[in-house]
Amino acid sequence: MWPCRSFAPPSAPAPYNGPVLLRRLSLENFRNIASLDLPFAPGRTVLHGRNAQGKTNLLEAVHLLAAAKSIRAEHERDLIAWNVLAGEIPYTRIRGDFDRGGTPLRLEVFLQLEPDGDASQDGEPRLAKRLRVNGAPRRAADFVGEMQAVLFEPQDIELVYGSPSSRRRHLDMTLSQADRPLLHDLQRYQRILTQRNHLLKSLREGRASPAELPTWDDILIESGAAIIAARAAALASLDASAARLHAQLTAGTERLRLLYAPSFPVPEGGAAHIAVAFRQALAATAARERLFGATIAGPHRDDFAFQLGGVSLAAFGSRGQHRLATVALKLAEAEYMTQRTGTQPTLLLDDILSELDADRRGFLLERVADSPQALITTADLPSLQGTLLRDAAVLEIVAGAVR
């Protein structure tokens, strides 16, 4: 009774601590890019061009190869170029050829609107996503993190004051690249949560017996405690790195903190202790769970907060402070990935340099210079002259094509 898997067995990642370098990127029908096949060199590549030409889309495509899902698309069908959506079989293909210490690595993401007309529940055509590594199909949990990337973009500052769910999504996408068991736990937890919430609704409506609940409590607690332990450890590491980087970035005296804000008090001492606290939290929220028909405590309600000098940045920070805090967070994420996997991630800087003054830009570019590969977009190429980017490869993007 082995789980029936129609997938080729994923090759185990051999211990390899060098960089995974993008050598070629091929796109078909990706947002505004009809077709593109572009070689890349190690080191720094600057993509310049006026706004709305497709620079951001290129970076988004590379990030998609690392994370298997779009950093922002709520509806992934939006990744498919709008002008082929009405076509025979609307699809988009993103393919990256990488050099992994002399071994070629090909990552592919293929999205297609199902032509069969079998609609999903909400009446939208079903979107099929296929992931391949070196031509072999993979599940997302066996694809994410084959190559790692950190994307810096202007809307990063929304992380500071945006919704807890956007922070969770960001944290999960980042940590998963360096921690596949966590991704597996997250997917499993989500399924358990869905089942348990259905059960709570049935209990409310008298269609189920309370005797069914302890089973789901056990499974939820076991899975959730592992996630909370992983997030607590990762945030402690990100907090330390971001504080140091932020101090260097601002030459300031106020300490930046990234504070884990779980849905119930989480004790020290690993998953076993967290499981005990989780069980208490479920007991404490049991009455409200019945009322709402939903699970109230657990990692699906986790959050993290930015503080500067002991004060909430979301409530009191300026736009400039938000910017520097998120740049520090992103750099800390790159350090986290490097520490955990030994491989430095590809840095993707989307129009971020223009958001920083000369000193801060210089600091960020030094970091970029230390990374094995970085893709940088700008609408203002002259502003980069005289910086560390003068020896970068320069490509101009016009209307979704490279000039």
Q: Contact between 215 and other proteins (CB under 8 A)? A: yes
Q: Binders of other proteins among 134-163, rule CB under 8 A?
A: 141-142
Complex with other proteins: residue 120 or 155, whichever CB lies closer: 120
Query: CB of residue 180 vs other proteins: minimum separation in angstroms?
Result: 6
DSSP symbols for 35-68: EEEEE--SEEEEEE-STTSSHHHHHHHHHHHHHS
Measured from the CB of residue 194, what is the shortest distance to other proteins in angstroms?
Answer: 6
Pick between residue 194 and residue 354 the one whose CB is nearest to other proteins.
194
Which of the residues 258 through 287 are near other proteins (CB under 8 A)? none
Give 34 or 219: the residue with its C-beta nearer to other proteins. 219
Angle at 136 between CA 134 and CA 103, to 5 degrees: 20
2 binds other proteins (CB under 8 A): yes
Binding to other proteins, residues 102-121 (CB under 8 A)? 116-118
CA 322 to chain centre: 19
208 lies in the site for other proteins, by CB under 8 A:
yes
Per 3-state DSSP, the chain is made up of helix, strand and coil in percentages (nearest 5) of 45, 25, 30
In whole angstroms, the minimum distance from the beta carbon of 214 to other proteins comes to 6
The answer to whether 195 contacts other proteins (rule: CB under 8 A) is yes
219 interacts with other proteins by CB under 8 A: yes
**Of the residues 55, 167, 168, 180, which one makes contact with other proteins according to CB under 8 A:** 180
| Tokens matching residue 201 | 């609704």
CB atoms within 10 A of CB 87: 12
State yes or no: residue 209 binds other proteins (CB under 8 A): yes
For residue 224, the SS3 value is helix
Q: Are 255 and 243 in contact (CB under 8 A)?
A: yes
Is the CB of 83 or the CB of 194 nearer to other proteins? Answer: 194
Q: Answer yes or no: are the C-beta atoms of 40 and 17 closer than 8 Å.
A: no
Site membership for other proteins, residue 3 (CB under 8 A): yes
Nearer to other proteins, 124 or 370 (CB): 124
Which residues does 225 contact at the CB level (< 8 Å), separation at least 6?
Answer: 271, 272, 274, 275, 278
Tell which one of 78, 212, 366, 380 touches other proteins (CB under 8 A). 212
Segment near other proteins (CB under 8 A); pick from 28-36, 37-45, 213-221, 346-354: 213-221
In this structure, the number of other CB atoms found within 10 A of the CB of residue 370 comes to 11
Structure tokens at 268: 């020290």
Listed in sequence order, the residues at least 6 apart from 293 whose beta carbon sits closer than 8 Å to its beta carbon are 197, 200, 201, 203, 204
Q: Nearest approach, Cβ of 114 to other proteins (angstroms)?
A: 11
Say which residue the tokens 């909430």 belong to.
Answer: 312
259 touches 240 (CB < 8 A): no
User: How far apart are CB 256 and other proteins at their closest, in Å?
Assistant: 33
Residue 199 touching other proteins (CB under 8 A): yes
Instruction: Kindly state whether residue 86 participates in binding other proteins, applying the rule CB under 8 A.
Output: no
Tokens of 350: 């989307």
What region does 280 belong to: left with phi over 0, alpha with psi -120 to 50, or beta?
Answer: alpha
Tokens describing residue 62: 């590379």
Rounded to a whole number of angstroms, the minimum distance from the CB of residue 277 to other proteins is 21
Which one of residues 216, 264, 304, 336 is an interface residue with other proteins (CB under 8 A)? 216
Applying CB under 8 A, does 15 fall inside the site for other proteins? no
89 touching other proteins, by CB under 8 A: no
For the CB of residue 272, give the shortest distance to other proteins in the complex, in Å: 15
Q: Are 113 and 92 in contact (CB under 8 A)?
A: no
Residues in touch with other proteins (CB under 8 A): 1-3, 9-12, 116-118, 141-142, 180-181, 184, 188, 191-192, 194-196, 198-199, 202, 207-209, 211-212, 214-216, 218-219
